[in-house]
Amino acid sequence: MMKPAYVIGVDVGGTFTDVFILDEANGTVTTAKVPSTRGDQSKGFVEGIARNVADFGLISTVVHGTTVGTNALLERNGARTGIITTQGFRDVLEMRRRDRPTTWGLKGSFTPVVERPDRVEVEERVLSDGSVLQAVKEEDVKAQARALADAGCEAVCVFFINGYANNDNEKTAVEAVRSVWPNAYVTAATEILPEIREFERLSTATLNAYLQPVVSSYLDRLETGLAEKGFSGDILIVQSNGGVMSIDTAKRYPVRTALSGPAAGVIAATQIARAAGFDNIISCDMGGTSFDVSLVADGTAALAAQTAIDFGMVVRTPMIEITTIGAGGGSIASVDKSGLLQVGPESAGSDPGPVSYGLGNDRPTVTDANVVLGRINPDRPIGGKLARLVIEDARRAIEIHIADPLGLSIEDAAEAILKLANAKMAGAIRLVSIEKGHDPAKFAAMPFGGGGALHTGALIKEVGLGSALVPRFPGVTSALGCVVADMRHDRVQTINHLLDQIDAAELGREMEGVADDTEKLLAGTGVAFAAVDRIYEFDMLYLGQTHTVSVPVTIARSGLTREAIRSAFEAAYKEAYGRLLEGIPMRVMNYRIAVIGRRPQLDMAVFAPTAGKPEQDCRIGRRSIFCDGTWHEAVVYERLELEVGAEISGPALLEQSDTTIFIDPGLMGRVDAFGNLVIERRNTANG
Amino acid sequence: MAIDSVTLAILKGRLEQIADEMDATLFRSAFNPIIAEAHDASHGIYDAVTGETLVQGKSGLPIFVGVMAFAVKAVIDKAARQGGVHEGDVWIFNDPYDGGTHLSDFRLVKPVFRDGKVFCYLASVGHWHDVGGNVPGNYNPAATECFQEGMLIPPVKLYDRGEFRQDVVDILSANSRLPMSLYGDLNGQINALELGEKRMSSLLDEYSDATVGECLVELKARAAQMMRARIAELPSGTVSAEDFLDNDGIIDDPLKIALDLTIENDRMVLDFTRSSPACVGPVNISRSTAIAACYVALKHIFGDVPANAGVLEPVEFRIAEDSLLSVKAPKPVGGYTETILRLIDVVFQAVAQIAPKEAMACAYGTINALSLAGHRENGQRWVMFSFFGGGHGAHAGGDGLNHGNAPISTATIPPLEILEAAYPVRFTQWALRPDSGGPGEFRGGLGAVYEIELLEKRADVFLFGERGKFAPAGVVGGRKAAANRFWFEQADGFHEPPMASKIVGIHIDRGQKLRLETPGGGGYGDPFVREPEFVARDVRLGFVSPEAARCEYGVVLTDDGAVDSAETDNLRSIEAAE
């Protein structure tokens, strides 16, 4: 055996830290799951690696999907932060875009992460055309910065109105702040997002400042912890956009980690599927309270321009588009006053969790329905926290809350809960596929997380998906995603000119210059890339509209032309809305540049079962399951022992420690060359 | 056979998704920011015979939820007189007296045919940027007839058996100051209807017409059942509430909106007959609009009731003919938003007396439609038109939201950077307004201050607002919020309009400013029992002044902002004794 050379992916979740260890020299893979260490995630992180790797000196790269930033936002335990802004505008953060949390009912509330006394103003003003109406005075800024630091602020964000058009004042102010600020936690709004729309820019920049002390100190501890063990390689951090960045970049722009964990999962799904020959998938992550779906078309995950972490907590940086609905295993089923069955959004979460957990909840959940119908083995709960599930209590809860009010048998009531939960999940899939113009028949569902694989069969039927692909280790998908993610940096700049007024050649040169600079950032990390790709896009619209269309362009060797921009816009607009609008001028709002360093592909065959057994040797029992109104006998399999090529007809249950797979009657499953289980309709599978 | 409850729940979700998708299509492709940003539009699925609302999108303007049924009915009636509807027809109109709201709202109605018969109607409504009349943007506070508010189009065919009628569009375009915007919005609405028809057809293919038909009937029955159950929980008897509009923009007299709300077991009577007669100016509304406004109010209070016609089955309306709340052509209706906001306020105030836990105090209660219009140096015309925000009312669970949107809408405000980039203006302030939230055990949300400077040579200014004289009320002992204020600068300084929050066509010159201070929301419960620490916090944040803390809340603070417990107890007990 050659001397090992490790690349390690680590995904720290709320309960478990998943470690994925790839030995590049020998092409082997090891996975580990250790409890997450609350308070300081870096301890569990280092411990998880140490269990499997004796010599940290053999690790070349550690790639990390982190929830430290996400949690700090959700739990609001970021640093006390100050804002220095243009006179007259200190309340922009709190006023949002004049919205409310819910359409119906006027009982919403909002507390910004920076309180009003910590939002201070200085005299300065830039107009929308970029001209400076009033220059900022360094002394004013310094005085305000000192006052904020004295008041106890650890971080500060400098944000000026119309800074996207000209950030001279903002730069001057940032330098002034840095000259007196006691630490490195100074964020310039236009450095984070030089894009028009003051609230979105300020919110993103403020959250960056708010996270910086928390995320930076965590990453410092992580570096120290690894170094103490003898590690001297690179640490890379997964960004919300699905690419990785260097640890130094992550310390400067922690807001880019807002969706780091989920993004890693989607990247893994993309790569596993691509290796298995599926370029179009819909990843489905089913947890206790929610069901998250993402669409991957032609091997590329869809990106969203912004997301709200919570009401009014807007982050506008490109991120993997994740659509979340309130339908998880812990979602509570009920019958409303009109006699209509409801599932969610109220959830029992994981504590107290479903009725069958026996931890105090007595209202039936989706998991309870799965238990009652035989889909979940009550003697082998996943995750390993509980010894067994109490099926009798689950039955009683369904009887009282659902079966009796609707006049159904307990089994019919339980199946009704699943049907409605499946319909909601199907709705989320329709939202990301049909509503975006994709044909679901061309997509495969890829479940990960604990519960998803129980529902994929129903989703195939309900939405008309082509198939489902269950990865070999659904529970450690995100850690795998870390190892295979590309390095990616996004840039945006607002232009806001009519197309006819633009010097396209000059603009093209500017964009190439920005891309060159960004590429230098990649080169500086020391990471080896198989290739470097550039993506150029414009956000464009017809004069008079306010919503933009994303317009991909290529910059020809001979340079960018207006004609090239125009025809790219027309193609994109037609694709989005079906018809062009004649005679209306076009406006170029922003340009966007992504520079992607492609990391070497991981050979997914490392997952293939090496000593698999034929289907009949993997049977570990039989269980009665209820489906489509009747009881069926289903064979139960030990999933990980199945050999490549094994075929299993539904109804069947495949068990493994981190998930249960249900193959519905009429469907069949096949183990592919990479250890994935491919589920299809029986006639398709035969034909 | 009755439809099974699982299929029903699933189809409900599928139908709502279709309506939501129609909303999203128009929001994305619309031209004018009132639709694209403020979501002043709505889509739904309506009954083939009665036009009743069957399913409505979640993201559209709430007020349209109730009113669109009347619009579809108007088309059904008109078509019946003209030889019926045909496959491929699309009707268009904005007649506010026949199922409309105000002239700015253009409705498109399209039948969905199955086997040669109408299965249901799809409809789209959107607020267009400019539809002619005396005032750009169509909020004309001086209108005394609808003819001064814009063009009035009765239901006519935009598509006749699939054939697009360019002549109709030519007529519409010729009557707008912003024909390009009109063309873009119209296209967006057509896109939405085409998409809705496509989705509806595939749903019907999947589940059969009969099953979906049964589902629609059943959903309505269930909604009625649910509403009855909600009403039955309320104590029987009659409660009353009154509120006022400042004036009608022509005559400076307050206009009364009075509600006597009666609960009789599982029925509710909303009696508005004590309200003012029809007025000369543009704050009248049609009966259908009044009913729709009550629906919005009830749905805010009882959030789980569904969005279909069944909800109003157990509710009886008593509204006097030809009154402020049931007006006939050609009395002007352009400012309908202000009247329905007041209608919602009286429903909130009445319900607070019988269901204090569910109740909310009044929100800021005016949309403040501000338009600035002028010509650039190159002669090009510009019209900046926007609505502004204010505070939400407090409720039993907490303080009201600062700077929210109006109860009748889900509109967001355009970013000021977008406004500055598009129009020759500069905002000099965009801030929360201290002491604007109504005092209470729970404080009303804060209104806002917006100050705008003109950067071009000259502009005409129009404002259509309310709550300048009658501030948003509190409930359950809560106090009222601060009233709306508006100032415009002239060579001799700042002025307030004689009609408080309504003004037509004054000019401002380069460098002069407008200043709008919007109301907060009303308070909830007695302010003298508000937790003194909360008051101290409000003072520290600058939401409440130290003077107001003392007078309104009976809370005395020390110099460093801490609660002076002894003085506070003292002040509060004196007040209690009086």
Q: In CATH, what number is assigned to the domain containing residue A586?
A: 3.30.1490
Name residues whose C-beta falls within 8 Å of residue A360's C-beta, 6 or more positions apart in sequence: A352
When pLDDT is cut at 50, 70 and 90, the band that residue B233 belongs to is very high
Domain assignment of residue B73, given as a range: 5-224
Dihedral through CA B321, CA B322, CA B324, CA B328, nearest 10?
Answer: 120
Which contacts of A610-617 are long-range, i.e. CB under 8 A and separated by 24 or more positions?
A612/A641, A612/A642, A612/A643, A612/A644, A612/A646, A612/A671, A613/A641, A613/A642, A613/A643, A614/A643, A614/A646, A615/A642, A615/A643, A615/A646, A615/A647, A615/A648, A617/A641
Burial class (CB in 10 A: 0-12, 13-18, 19+), A23: buried
Question: B562 at the A interface (CB within 8 A)?
Answer: no
Instruction: Give pLDDT, residue A353.
Output: 86
Complete edge-to-edge strand list for the sheet that includes strand B381-386: B381-386, B369-375, B458-464, B502-509
User: For residue A315, is it within any domain?
Assistant: no
Same domain, B504 and B546: no
Quick one: A509 and A571 in the same domain? yes
Based on the domain organization, do B153 and B210 belong to the same domain? yes
A165, A340, A543 ranked by CB distance to B222: nearest: A340
Does the pLDDT at position A151 exceed 60?
yes
Q: Is residue B244 part of a domain?
A: no
Mean pLDDT taken over chain A = 91
Least Cα distance to B103 among B151, B148, B59 occurs for: B151
For residue A513, the model assigns a pLDDT of: 96
> Region A107-127: what's the mean pLDDT?
97
**Contact assignment for A420 to B542 by CB distance below 8 Å:** no
Query: Distance (Å) from the C-alpha of residue B389 to the closest C-alpha of chain A?
Result: 6
Asked if A587 has any chain B CB less than 8 Å from its own CB, the reply is no
On whether residue B91 sits in a domain, the answer given is yes
Residues in chain B with CB shorter than 8 Å from the CB of A584 are 180, 184
CB-CB neighbors (< 8 A) of A115 in chain B: 541
Q: A511 and A592 share a domain?
A: yes
Tokens for A462, please give them.
Answer: 């309900």
Q: How many domains does chain A have?
A: 4
The answer to whether the Cβ–Cβ distance between B431 and A338 falls below 8 Å is no
Q: Are residues A87 and A201 in the same domain?
A: yes
Percent of all residues in chain A with a pLDDT value above 70, rounded to a whole number: 98
Bigger pLDDT: B59 or B209? Answer: B209
Rounding to the nearest 10 degrees, give the CA dihedral for residues A661, A666, A671, A673: -130
Q: How many helices (H) and strands (E) does chain B have?
A: 12, 20
Positions of E strands within A206-268: 234-238, 244-246
What is d(CA B217, CA B62) in angstroms, rounded to the nearest whole number? 22
Amino acid sitting at position A70: T
Residues B461 and B570 in one domain: no
Mean pLDDT of A64-83: 91
What's the one-letter identity of residue B241? A
Yes or no: say if B93 and B107 are a contact pair by the CB < 8 Å rule.
yes
Question: Which B positions 262-321 lie with beta carbon below 8 A of chain A?
Answer: 299-301, 303-304, 306
Report d(CA A628, CA A612) in Å as an integer: 33
Residue at a domain's end among B224, B248, B273: B224
Is the same domain home to A186 and A239? no
Q: B500 vs chain A: nearest CA distance in angstroms?
A: 24
Q: Are residues A574 and A680 in the same domain?
A: no
Percent of chain B with pLDDT over 90: 76
CATH code, domain carrying A38: 3.30.420.40
Tell me which amino acid residue A244 is.
Answer: V
At residue A568, φ and ψ (nearest 5 deg) are -65, -40
Q: What is the band of A686 on the pLDDT scale with cuts at 50, 70, 90?
A: very low
CB contact under 8 Å between B540 and A342, yes or no, is no
Amino acid at B441: E
B441 closest CA partner among B578, B577, B572: B572
Do A84 and A67 fall into the same domain? no
CA distance B263 to B472: 25
Lookup result for tokens 């807002």:
A258
- B226 contacts chain A (CB < 8 A): yes
Contacts of B540 in chain A (CB under 8 A): 117
The 10s digit of each residue's pLDDT in B106-128 is 999 999 999 999 999 999 999 99
pLDDT reading at B553 higher than 80: yes
Least trusted range by pLDDT, from A540-544, A557-561, B563-567: A540-544
Structural domain contains residue A204: yes
- Kindly list the residues from chain B whose CB atom is less than 8 angstroms away from the CB atom of residue A110: 401-402
pLDDT at A687: 37
Range with top average pLDDT, A18-32, A299-313, A345-359, B277-291: B277-291
Final residue of a domain: which of B172, B201, B224? Answer: B224
A58 and A102 part of one domain:
no
Q: Is residue B340 part of a domain?
A: no
Mean pLDDT of B184-201: 94
Q: Region B460-481: what's the mean pLDDT?
A: 97
Q: Does A437 touch chain B (CB under 8 A)?
A: no
Give the residue on A whose Cα is nearest the Cα of B11. A423
Query: In this predicted structure, what is the pLDDT of residue A581?
Result: 80
Residue from A338, A425, A579 to probe the interface with B (highest B Cβ count within 10 Å)? A338
Q: What is the dihedral of CA B46, A428, A106, B484, to 10 degrees?
A: -80
B525 and B545: one domain? no
Classified as helix, coil or strand, A297 is strand
Residue B319 lies in a domain: no
Domain assignment present for A11:
yes
User: Are B17 and A430 a contacting pair at CB < 8 A?
Assistant: yes
Asked whether the beta carbons of B336 and B354 are under 8 A apart, the reply is no
Please identify among residues 14-43 of chain B the ones whose CB lies closer than 8 Å to any CB of chain A. 14, 17, 21, 24, 27-33, 36-37
Residues A68 and A82 in one domain: no
Closest Cα in chain A to B37: A546
pLDDT of A382 higher than 90: no
Count the domains in chain B.
Answer: 3
Higher-confidence position of B1 and B68: B68
Least CB–CB distance from B421: residue in A109, A110, A496: A496
Domain boundary among B192, B224, B256: B224
Task: Give the type of residue at B174.
Answer: A
A508/B64: higher pLDDT: A508
Q: Distance (Å, rounded) from C-alpha A187 to C-alpha A430? A: 39
The pLDDT, as a whole number, for residue A291 is: 87
B191 contacts chain A (CB < 8 A)? yes
Give the strand pairing for A59-65 and A234-238. Answer: parallel
Q: What is the CATH number of the domain that holds A106?
A: 3.40.50
- Answer whether residue B136 is part of any domain: yes
Q: Is there a single domain that holds both residue B488 and residue B550? A: no
- Residue B187: list chain A partners with CB under 8 A: 577, 579, 581
**What is the number of residues in chain B?**
578
| Angstrom distances, CA of residue B276 to CA of A6, A594, B96, B285, B367 | 81, 62, 20, 12, 22
- Do residues A63 and A184 share a domain? no
Identify the three-state secondary structure at position B420: helix
- The mean per-residue pLDDT over the stretch A595-617 comes to 86
Q: Which of B401, B408, B454 to mutate to test the interface with A (most CBs of A within 10 A)?
A: B401
**Whether the Cβ atoms of residue A682 and residue A668 lie closer than 8 Å to each other:** yes
Q: Which residues of A touch B431 (CB under 8 A)?
A: 88-91, 95
A635 and A521 in one domain? Answer: no
Put simply, the chain A residues between 184 and 223 with a CB less than 8 A from any chain B CB are 196-200
Q: Confidence band (pLDDT; 50, 70, 90) for A1?
A: low
Q: Are B184 and A197 in contact (CB < 8 Å)?
A: no
Position B146 in a domain: yes
Report the percentage of chain A scoring pLDDT > 90. Answer: 64
Q: How many CB pairs under 8 A join A and B?
A: 200
Q: Residue A90: inside a domain, yes or no?
A: yes
- Are B421 and A196 within 8 A, CB to CB? yes
Task: Tell whether B81 and B201 lie within a shared domain.
Answer: yes
With an 8 Å Cβ cutoff, are B6 and A341 in contact?
yes
Q: How far apart are CA A51 and CA A47, in angstroms?
A: 6
Quote the minimal CA–CA distance from A331 to chain B in Å: 16
Is A40 within a domain? yes
Instruction: Say if residue B407 is in the same domain as residue B521.
Output: yes
Closest Cα in chain A, distance from residue B58 (Å): 8
**Do A11 and A62 have their domain in common?**
yes
B76 & B115 share domain:
yes
* A338 touches B: beta carbon within 8 Å: yes
On whether residue B443 sits in a domain, the answer given is yes
In a shared domain, residues B446 and B554: no
Distance (Å) from the C-alpha of residue B251 to the closest C-alpha of chain A? Answer: 32
Residue type, A366: V
| CA separation for the pair B161, B111 (Å, rounded) | 11
Q: Look at B403 and A94 and tell me if their CB atoms are within 8 Å.
A: yes
- Judging contacts by C-beta atoms under 8 Å, the chain A residues touching residue B13 are 423-424, 427
Is A357 a domain residue?
no
pLDDT over 70 at A374, yes or no = yes
Which has the closest alpha carbon to A284: A471, A140, A464, A517?
A471
Of B9, B24, B413, the CB nearest to A420: B9
For residue B353, what are its two tokens? 């007396």
- Whether B404 sits inside 8 A of A100 (CB atoms) is yes
Res. A685: pLDDT tops 50 = no
Last residue of a domain, which of A582, A598, A614? A598
Cβ–Cβ of B191/A198 closer than 8 Å?
A: no
User: How large is the ipTM?
Assistant: 0.93
Give the pLDDT confidence of A522-555 residue by residue, as tens digits. 887 777 788 999 999 999 998 877 778 899 999 9
Q: Which of residues 543-582 of A touch B (CB under 8 A)?
A: 543-547, 576-579, 581
Return the pLDDT at B1. 45
Averaged confidence pLDDT in chain B:
93
Domain contains B253: no
- Whole-prediction pTM value? 0.91
List Cβ neighbours of B84 (8 Å cut-off, separation of 6 or more): none
C-beta atoms of B415 and A197 within 8 A: yes
Same domain for B569 and B445?
no
Whether A362 is covered by a domain: the verdict is no
Could you tell me if A228 lies within 8 Å of chain B, comparing CB atoms? no
- Single residue among A581, A598, A615 that ends a domain in this structure: A598
- Please indicate, yes or no, whether residues B525 and B541 belong to a single structural domain of this protein: no
Question: What is the H or E stretch that residue A463 is in?
Answer: helix A456-463
Q: Do residue B181 and residue A544 have CB atoms under 8 angstroms apart?
A: yes
In a domain, A658, yes or no: yes
Number of Cβ within 10 Å of residue A683's Cβ equals: 9
Closest by CA to A483, choosing from A2, A4, A11, A3, is A11
User: Residues with Cβ < 8 Å from A289, sequence gap 6 or more?
Assistant: A326, A328, A330, A331, A347, A349
What pLDDT is attached to residue A384? 57
If asked whether residues B495 and B377 sit together in one domain, one would say yes
Domain containing residue A35: 6-72+217-257
pLDDT for A385 equals 64
CB B63 within 8 A of CB B81: no
Asked if B522 has any chain A CB less than 8 Å from its own CB, the reply is no
Residue B332 and residue B328: Cα distance in Å, rounded? 9
Separation CA B197–CA A450 (nearest Å): 38
Are A227 and A250 members of one domain? yes
